[in-house]
Amino acid sequence: MNHLSSARHAAGEGDACALQTPLCLNLNESPYGVPPAARQAASEAIGLSSRYQFERVEALRQALAQRHGVPLEWVSLYPGSNRALHYATLAFSRADAPLVVAAPGYPVPEQAARLHGRAVCRVPLLADGGHDVQAMLAASEGGLIYIANPNNPTGTVTSHAALLALVEQAGALPHPPVVLIDEAYLEFSDEPSMIPAVSARPGLVVTRTFSKIHGLAGLRLGYAIAQPAVLDRMHTQPAHDVPVPAVAAALACLHDEAECARRKAANTAQREAFCAWLDRQGLRYSPSRSNCVLIDCQRPAAEVIATLAAGGIRVGRPWPGLEQRLRLNMTAFTPTPLPRTLGPLVSDQATLSAEERARYSRHILLPEFGLTGQQRLKNARVLVIGAGGLGSPTLLYLAAAGVGTLGIVDFDRVDASNLQRQVIHRMDTLGELKTESAKRTIAALNPHVQVNLHDLRLDNDNAVALFQGYDLIIDGADNFATRYLVNDACVLAGKPYVWGSIYRFEGQASVFWENAPGGGLNYRDLYPEPPPPELAPSCSEGGVLGVLCAAVASVMGTEAIKLLTGIGESLLGTLMVYDALRMRYRYLPLQRDPQRQPITALQDYPQLCGLGQPAAPATPVPVITPQELHALLGSGQPPRLIDVREPNEWDIVRIEGADLLPKARALASLGQGPLADREQPYVICCKGGSRSREVVEAMLAAGYRNVRNLQGGVLAWARTEHPLECCGLIAAVPGEPGSLRLVPMHNAAQAEDFFSFEPLQQLRVWREMNGRGEVPLVLYHSHTASRPYPSDTDVEYAAAFPEVFHLIVSTDPRFDLSMRCFRIEDGRILEQPLAFD
């Protein structure tokens, strides 16, 4: 919550309101500076400061009396209005007649009272920020009621009618209290002054200052207006106690009413714009009518102050008794949604060993980071959702950086296709749970990191409770349903999270934190609704440049470290977009959606993202099973087989004899090319059956008489076309010679894709499974029709693992299978009979 750059440059060049460096936000300095006429008058008065100039002091009193319509003897000058408050407190409060103040309120009178043993009664402000005048009156007991109007630090006002009623009722009490109205900030508002009421209310004192709208805080000049009987008890100052340059500058300000009006108008416009921006950000603040706003930081304000100070912005100190709030003055700048500077998420209460200090020495050498930053990392608990393309490099860098505890959520196993981008996994971890694979790599990289494994599918039942055990969440999910779940669970758990997304050659990253100090936003401010499923392909469908994952994940890791340690500016409120093909980074400001409904509960995310069970179409789409298709392809009248996937998918695996016609081209080619004959029988296929179903529907609507959708697509064909039962396994051959995918059948009800064929790596996997007694041990080899059986490599493997039965699978381009199983015994090749269904 700072806006460093905009704060410095919004004021116009040469403007009298131009800001100075460093920027001061709540030290009572006026952003408008000393008016030119006042500056000149004070400069001239310095040359005459060798004497007291009593006549100039009297001239100022006369000017004030004339302006406010009161007798001269009702005006008393002080070296700052605080002096008047101090004297009034001593004069009118006692141990049995308290000083009654608002809470929160300006602390100077209360400090003076407590210093001198006076009683103090604090009365909370009303919900609208006004003073509870009736409660203050009831507590007065003949002492002093102090009211700042507008109130300091909230900037809120109490109505003129309420103040008049207070003074009138106070005068009617048996022991009437003195009422002091501090109007230091009144000139920023449209509220009428209480000075005209002084003539009819003997117990009323009104104080003013030249520090605020006039910009003379450093010259220390204020005044009080009251009837003489009251002023006499307030230690009226001798004329020589008021600085001569201050008097001269004040006289110039009184004569320059146009400048005062200009400053009031500028402040009003700035306050309205600033509060409107705070509303858009969802920040809580006081309904100010002054030149300041009290903002709820939702964390210790001292941390925010220290962070802002590092960026050249001074915001004084936390308000006494309000350790989580900051009072910010209007500073003649327009707030813009720039990256936020936030305090650290975790404490630095951790001890580094000598080994750790040496390990992280390059971090500790950084002035902005240092030992404290490294201790914060060690103390941090970070949960990473997904050990995939984004989670893998993020985990590696956070582990290397020294994050003390890393949690990993994933339920998938390592597949050979993962290794192109998921750099935390290796060839020797194929088939392992990704969480286990990641833990082994992290342990080898940094044994000081504790790794918590969550081998589960994140869902509504576990997300919020799981998140509450960590300081920060990293969202590396690859689907919208999980992303919305992560977002909503983080909101409910009150946790910040770093988000990233990749697709083909583009990546995005940001930070979301609904309850960020000073206000925040969440993923729904960026994407209020998920896109239709057909517009949100996964990496397995659309592809992704492997190194892109590292580029985006490094940003995510950097954001995580900044949030944990409190250094730098985060991406909260900013979307980073990376275009790898053009090597361009763009930064788009994000704002809180004022129409967005608050998140109060989790919901059905698959249904939200259109991933639930699809409704049955009005006209059922004819389908054909892989087994039925196989029979037709071997008949004398095979159908025309059209594959509507993309060319890159076609290159990986295909059904021999099919024609490639991507979906978009197919829909635009009805009645043309391969789809010219509406009477011919067609079978349409894609990866899983969804895209092909759209084409079948379009063809049926266009008058095609015999068209069917391959049920389950190419994947179903590969998994079920040639089942082989051998040693408790079902082996299924995909459409590319030289590869094999397996479905373990030791738990047929939960059968799943197990791994891509890779003999050297799978030996260890099968041996471990055999050791657990789950399935017999079998090593699968893959051959093309031209490769001899068994090959020299096969024999070498068999000799190295004599307990293993070796299944040799050979395929020709038409999926005709030749399968033989053998083992080595006493140097001889012994074949094992195979049992088919």
Joined tokens for residue 404: 């003390």
Quote the DSSP letter at residue 72: G
Alpha helices in 533-688 (DSSP H): 539-542, 546-565, 605-608, 626-633, 647-652, 663-668
d(CA 653, CA 122): 78
> Would the pLDDT of 474 be above 70?
yes
For residues 300 and 353, which has the higher predicted lDDT (pLDDT)? 353
Mean pLDDT of 244-264: 87
Q: Between the ranges 47-56, 376-385, 687-696, where is the mean pLDDT highest? A: 376-385
> Would the pLDDT of 408 be above 60?
yes
d(CA 493, CA 515): 10
Q: Which residues contact 178 (CB under 8 A, 6 or more apart)?
A: 88, 91, 92, 143, 144, 145, 203, 204, 205, 230
Task: Note the pTM of the prediction, 2 decimals.
Answer: 0.44
Q: Between the ranges 67-81, 413-427, 599-613, 724-738, where is the mean pLDDT highest? A: 67-81
**Which CATH class, in words, describes the domain spanning 623-719?**
alpha beta
Query: Taking all residues of the chain, what is their mean pLDDT, rounded to a whole number?
Result: 78
> Would the pLDDT of 11 be above 50?
no
Neighbours of 420 (CB within 10 A): 15
> Would the pLDDT of 355 be above 90?
yes
CATH T-level topology, domain 723-832: Cytidine Deaminase; domain 2 (3.40.140)
Joined tokens for residue 474: 């990293």
CATH T-level topology, domain 260-329: Aspartate Aminotransferase, domain 1 (3.90.1150)
Tens digit of pLDDT for each residue in 178-193?
Answer: 999 999 999 999 999 9
Share of the chain above pLDDT 90, in %: 38
Beta strand pairing call for 724-726 and 729-732? antiparallel
Give the pLDDT band of residue 825 (cuts 50, 70, 90): low
Tell me the longest C-alpha to C-alpha distance in the chain.
124
Is the distance from CB of 753 to CB of 417 less than 8 angstroms? no
Q: Between the ranges 300-309, 523-532, 675-684, where is the mean pLDDT highest? A: 675-684
Give the pLDDT band of residue 618 (cuts 50, 70, 90): very low
Residue length of the chain: 837
Give the pLDDT band of residue 597 (cuts 50, 70, 90): confident
* 539: annotated active-site residue: yes
d(CA 584, CA 599): 34
Q: What is the pLDDT of residue 555?
A: 95
Inter-axis angle of helices 546-565 and 391-401, to 10 degrees? 40
> Would the pLDDT of 731 be above 70?
no
> Would the pLDDT of 54 be above 80?
no
Mean pLDDT of 715-742: 42
Stretch(es) of the chain classified as CATH 3.40.250.10: 623-719
Residues 364, 369, 370, 373, CA torsion sign: negative
Q: Which residues contact 355 (CB under 8 A, 6 or more apart)?
A: none
Q: What is the pLDDT of residue 760?
A: 38
> Would the pLDDT of 758 be above 50?
no
First to last CA, the chain: 69
H-helix or E-strand containing 824?
Answer: strand 817-825
Stretch(es) of the chain classified as CATH 3.40.140.10: 723-832
Mean pLDDT of 567-591: 86
Q: What is the pLDDT of residue 323?
A: 78
Looking at domain 36-259, which CATH architecture does it have? 3-Layer(aba) Sandwich (3.40)
Alpha helices in 569-712 (DSSP H): 605-608, 626-633, 647-652, 663-668, 690-701
Q: What is the pLDDT of residue 224?
A: 95
Tens digit of pLDDT for each residue in 500-522?
Answer: 998 888 899 999 998 888 778 89
> Would the pLDDT of 538 be above 60?
no
Is the distance from CB of 674 to CB of 699 less than 8 angstroms? no
3-state secondary structure (DSSP) of residue 724: strand
Q: What is the pLDDT of residue 799?
A: 60
* 726: annotated active-site residue: no
Phi, psi (rounded to 5 degrees) for 110: -65, -40
Inter-axis angle of helices 244-255 and 54-68, to 10 degrees? 30
Q: What is the pLDDT of residue 751?
A: 28
Q: What is the pLDDT of residue 515?
A: 85
Neighbours of 727 (CB within 10 A): 16
Q: What is the pLDDT of residue 713?
A: 86
Q: Which residues contact 752 (CB under 8 A, 6 or more apart)?
A: 743, 744
Q: What CATH code is assigned to 354-608?
A: 3.40.50.720
d(CA 503, CA 195): 68
Phi, psi (rounded to 5 degrees) for 408: -125, 125
Nearest Cα to Cα of residue 521 among 271, 274, 275, 279 = 279
Burial of 170 (0-12, 13-18, 19+ CB in 10 A): buried
Number of Cα atoms under 13 Å in the Cβ half of residue 745: 13
Stretch(es) of the chain classified as CATH 3.90.1150.10: 260-329
Q: What is the pLDDT of residue 132?
A: 95
SS (H, E, C) 730-798: EEECCCCCCCCEEEECCCHHHCCCCCECCHHHHHHHHHHHHHCCCCCCEEEEEEECCCCCCCHHHHHHH
> Would the pLDDT of 437 be above 90?
yes
Stretch(es) of the chain classified as CATH 3.40.50.720: 354-608
Q: Annotated catalytic residue: which of 539, 549, 685, 821?
A: 539
Give the pLDDT band of residue 332 (cuts 50, 70, 90): very low
SS (H, E, C) 445-488: HCCCCEEEEECCCCCCCCHHHHHCCCCEEEECCCCHHHHHHHHH
Q: What is the pLDDT of residue 317?
A: 64
> Would the pLDDT of 767 be above 60?
no
Inter-axis angle of helices 626-633 and 713-720, to 10 degrees? 80
Q: Annotated catalytic residue: which of 121, 686, 726, 821?
A: 686
